Structure 1
Amino acid sequence: MQEFIANLDIYMLLFLFFAAFVAGFIDSIAGGGGMITIPALLLAGISPLQALATNKLQSSFGSFSATLQFYKKGYINLKSSIPFAIISFIFAAVGTISVQFIQVEFLSKILPFLVLIFGLYFLFSPNIKEMEKTKKLNRAYLSLAIALVGFYDGFFGPGTGSFFMLGLIIIGGFGVMQSLGQAKLYNFSTNLASLIFFAIGGHMLWGVGLLMALGQFIGANLGSRAAILYGIRIVKPLVVAVSFLMAAKLLYEQF
């Protein structure tokens, strides 16, 4: 690990720190931070598996930072959210273990269209509100949705925060801010599960990951504060923009 850090000059280390900072800011509001950090890690000459593992380390700090801010402002009810966080942790762990046995090519082909549909839903749906509406929460359906997204994050990952938000809005009946806050909690849970199993596998670059974690933590702190301050005025347009950019990037990589 130390040898690898020594091979990176100060400018590359600053680049990785800044990439994590920007990713943390954007991810805390709209998701999609991995679109920035994973290419940055690969650009630094890190192998794909190490990049995925190290990305989970630094993104865990970002999702924790954002979760903390949303909790302080009352957008997360831990009593009702912790069981779902546990479900997401368990299924993310299963997904991380299962990745070596599952063909992900099909998912990689349909993912851009799923992300695009999410962006269009966020842009045009009248159900996107600042605060939650009358509860129509079905715990069984929401548990299933969170389990599926958690499993997905364990072995693939792009757009996880967006899919959590979509489930919380459509199935849970939550508003944007409650959905965003809870999505950060569940995303932290899935990141932590994947982090543990990647670390056990010995694929983690701890020095690089912790440097980026500092940038992620600061960026996510500022991003979540901006989301709380400006609400749907900043969340909705940024979610739509990030969704369209993510879909375009994924389509470009395929074709």
Structure 2
Amino acid sequence: MLELLIVAVASGLAGFVDAIVGGGGLVLLPALFATFPTTHPATLAGSNKGAAVWGTAWAARQYARRVELRWGAVAPAVAAAGVGSFAGAWVLTLVSPEGLRKALPVVLLAILAYTLAKKELGQHHAPRFAGRREALVAGGVGGVIGFYDGFFGPGTGSFLVFLFVRLLGYDFLNASASAKLVNLATNLAALALLASRGHIWWQVAAVMAVTNVLGSLLGTRLALRHGAGFVRWVFIVVVSALILKTGYDAYLR
């Protein structure tokens, strides 16, 4: 019961962070690995997805009701992300992501430096493309990050938010709203693959799902209330934490 309580609390915090700007895996996955150290990593990843998908779905629903999404871009990004995530999860069952683990903190550091240098980045919603071109760029983002999420995962939501801001010209609030729908597709696809291989604890995932939704509810409300500037600062904090965590895991652990 104590173990279940620990991961339930971690899942709630993960849902809160993930609803605002992504990065919930930074909280929940380490908690799962620390609490169940002898369990197969794929099982813990599957259980994480089994909980996170509910919080992500709730956040996506709330954003879709309150933010005017550009469905011509979001729809192809969602479709490509689902295919990419399924492929990434399949590759995960075959090879180790160790090389990617070492590159991740460097990539995140570059993203943080760029965001801090560009003070106006993501403050104003000014889409750079329209029509087919926007759909192609968004689909490319969805496919690449979807594969990454299925294969490895940490920072997926943050990568999506940054690329929607940098490449498509969205503000941080609209980027976060769009990222939630894409992230939902990646979670569902990876979950389907991992569940089919028996890599999920349904009873643990069910408890974590409840607290994840509660955290997501609070995080979504704060993001919608305070807007793009608030989301930008949460993004900076989460990416900074991701750099520290992934750097430690890759080079010091």
TM-score, normalising length: structure 2: 0.91
Structure-2 separation of matches of 1:181 and 1:81: 10
Cα displacement string for residues 33-88 of structure 1 (whole angstroms, at most 9, x for unaligned residues): 11111121122224322111100111101111110111110243445422221111
Q: Which runs of 5+ in 2 are unaligned?
A: none
Structure-2 separation of matches of 1:22 and 1:159: 15
Identity in percent? 29
Q: How far did 1:103 drift?
A: 4.4
Structure-2 separation of matches of 1:98 and 1:18: 31
Pairs aligned (count): 246
Contact 2:23-2:154 at 8 Å conserved across structures = yes
1:48 and 2:41 are equivalent in the alignment: yes
1:133 and 2:126 are equivalent in the alignment: yes
Structure 1 SS opposite 2:93: helix
Cα displacement string for residues 153-203 of structure 1 (whole angstroms, at most 9, x for unaligned residues): 111111111111122112211111110000011001000000111110011
1:226 pairs, out of 222, 233, 240, with 222
2:55 pairs, out of 50, 59, 62, with 62
Residue type at the aligned position of 1:229: R
Contact 2:121-2:166 at 8 Å conserved across structures = no
Structure-1 separation of matches of 2:11 and 2:163: 27
Aligned partner of 2:91 in structure 1 is 98
1:175 pairs, out of 171, 186, 201, with 171
Residue type at the aligned position of 1:208: V
Give the alignment's Cα RMSD to 1 decimal: 1.7
Q: How far did 1:110 drift?
A: 0.8
TM-score, normalising length: structure 1: 0.90
Q: How far did 1:127 drift?
A: 4.4
Q: Which moved more, 1:32-41 or 1:114-123?
A: 114-123
Contact 2:77-2:182 at 8 Å conserved across structures = yes
Map of 1:1-255 to 2, 5 A cutoff? 9=1, 11-45=2-36, 46-78=39-71, 80-137=73-130, 138-139=133-134, 140-254=136-250, 255=252
Q: Which moved more, 1:185-194 or 1:134-143?
A: 134-143
Structure 2 SS opposite 1:101: coil
